[in-house]
Structure 1
Amino acid sequence: MPSKWWGGMSCKGDLLVDAHRFYIIDEKTVNNSKKMTELIIIMLSNLFVNLVDLLKATPLLTRVFFKVLFS
């Protein structure tokens, strides 16, 4: 299966990989809407964590981000 990108995470076959954790996506998980909702929440929280890590790494970008956010 070709790899696809979902918000900074790559999906190769049935293994979803991001910078912090590995998730195995099986057929039960995909068919179960509650588990799928949990997976989406986990993916969004990981995107937020990655954004925070990026802002920590670049102080100038942090100032610009908060200036735009709160102006």
Structure 2
Amino acid sequence: EEIQENGHECYISLKPFNENKVHDHDRWTRKYKVPACMICNDNYYASMFIPVYFHSLPVYGCHLFIKTNT
């Protein structure tokens, strides 16, 4: 809480807060990291998405892969 209250800049953009300050947390462990502005926090995690495309994968094999990894 002290880090959140005393934080004066977004750790992602390194700019002073002018938007809502949010509690940034690790998406896997749910542990608090540092304060960030809402827009940077949303964009940061959106940019971590990596699209994966399969080429010439048999239809049956594709369903098996998707079913086991979702």
- TM-score normalized with structure 1 length: 0.33
- TM-score normalized with structure 2 length: 0.33
Higher relative contact order (CA 8 A, sep 6+): 2
Q: Which has the higher helix share?
A: 1
